[in-house]
Chain A
Amino acid sequence: MKWNRKALKKKGRKTMSPRTRAAESMDPDVLKKMAQGIMATRPDEIGCEECFKQVDHFVDMVLGGEDAAAALPLVQDHLSRCHDCREEYEALLAAVRATS
């Protein structure tokens, strides 16, 4: 969605009507992700707090060549659903990979 935020900033919120902005962001990919997000909902998902508690362990396993997704499937599941947590996971992985 980065492009969308950029478009929003560039054109300015005052000159663009809310409806135009709404229409601009309504592309098939948004609907596809919503469909996947909703229809693949499971009752045992963990939240961001639990993911945060385990993600350092997950990263060390990945970098150690272990199957982190199999060992910590609920962390893997959360990372696939939560953009905030995935973004931090990827940054952490890159940081630890570069410094160890």
Chain B
Amino acid sequence: MKDRTNSEWLDDLRGPGRDDALADLRAFMVRGLGYSLANRSDVDGTLVEDMAQEALLKILDSLDTFRGESRFTTWAQKIAVHVTFSELRRRHWQDLSLEAITEPYGPDFAPDTMIDPAALPEQQAIQRLFLETLQRLIGTELTDKQRQALVAVRVQGMPLEEVARRMGTNRNAVYKLLHDARQRLKSRMEAEGLSPQDVLAAFGS
């Protein structure tokens, strides 16, 4: 691949050097994705080629947003990685609805299996108090959407992006939804006398 500065990349992609620059960038992204996804069984060469192609279109559409704070190739690879992981997450979770994975966590949200059996008795007591308080506050303080997102992400490990897809919104909005939920739970807990320091200490951090 021809060595280019950031401005040479931009000039080439916008000018007569475009075809060569596109081919170079595409090959660069395919190589990078190949390395970073090498140990995943759900990735093959075709997928990587397809994702690099999709990323290329996005990159050409958003050249004006490149801020020049990183190398151009790092910025481009970031878009390729994002496109690829979005697709992998979509495939992995496609058969599961939000209801199916969150509905089991109704009234019985807090089984004793969540208390660390290796913790000291006084730590276990705070863990249990935290769990009981959490269970109650999730029911009384959070909106249905906040509760669903919290359970899907924190308990079931569903990616934010997949929660967002099912809620008809985007990942950033789901992060904000969860942040507001955490903030609410934290301040209610503090108001009830559960200090962040004590809780964190009880969980060994």
Contacts and interface: CB of A to CB of B under 8 A. Distances in A.
Interface of A: 1-2, 4-5, 13, 18-19, 21-23, 25-28, 30-41, 43, 45, 47-49, 52-57, 59-60, 82-84, 87-88, 90-92, 94-96, 98-100
B46 interface: no
B200 A26 contact: no
Given A26-B111, A99-B35, A56 B82 contact: no
A47 B176 contact: yes
A88 B82 contact: yes
Contacts of A98: 31-32, 35-36
B175 A41 contact: no
B85 A30 contact: no
Interface in B68-126: 69-71, 73-75, 77-78, 80-82, 84-85, 89, 92, 100, 103-105, 108, 111, 113-117
Nearest to B153: A83
Most buried by B among A26, A41, A88, A95: A95
Nearest to B117: A28
Interface in B130-178: 130-131, 134, 153-157, 159-161, 171-172, 175-176
B85 A87 contact: yes
Contacts of B10: none
Contacts of B196: 39-40
Contacts of B175: 47-48, 82
B182 A38 contact: yes
B33 interface: yes
A36 B205 contact: yes
Nearest to B32: A95
A100 B1 CA distance: 11
Nearest to B40: A91
Given A1-B156, A1-B157, A35-B130, A41 B179 contact: yes
A30 B104 CA distance: 16
A83 B175 CA distance: 11
Given A38-B182, A98-B35, A99-B35, A60 B70 contact: yes
Given A84-B161, A99-B28, A100-B71, 10 more contacts: A28-B116, A35-B130, A38-B134, A39-B199, A39-B200, A48-B171, A56-B69, A83-B153, A91-B84, A99-B73
A92 B79 CA distance: 9
A94 B35 contact: yes
Please list the 5 inter-chain residue pairs (A to B) with the smallest Cβ-Cβ separation, ordered nearest first. Answer: A1-B157, A95-B32, A22-B104, A98-B35, A18-B104
Contact of A26 (B33, B82, B89, B114): B114
A62 B190 CA distance: 37
5 contacts: A28-B113, A32-B203, A38-B185, A55-B78, A84-B159
A45 B179 contact: yes
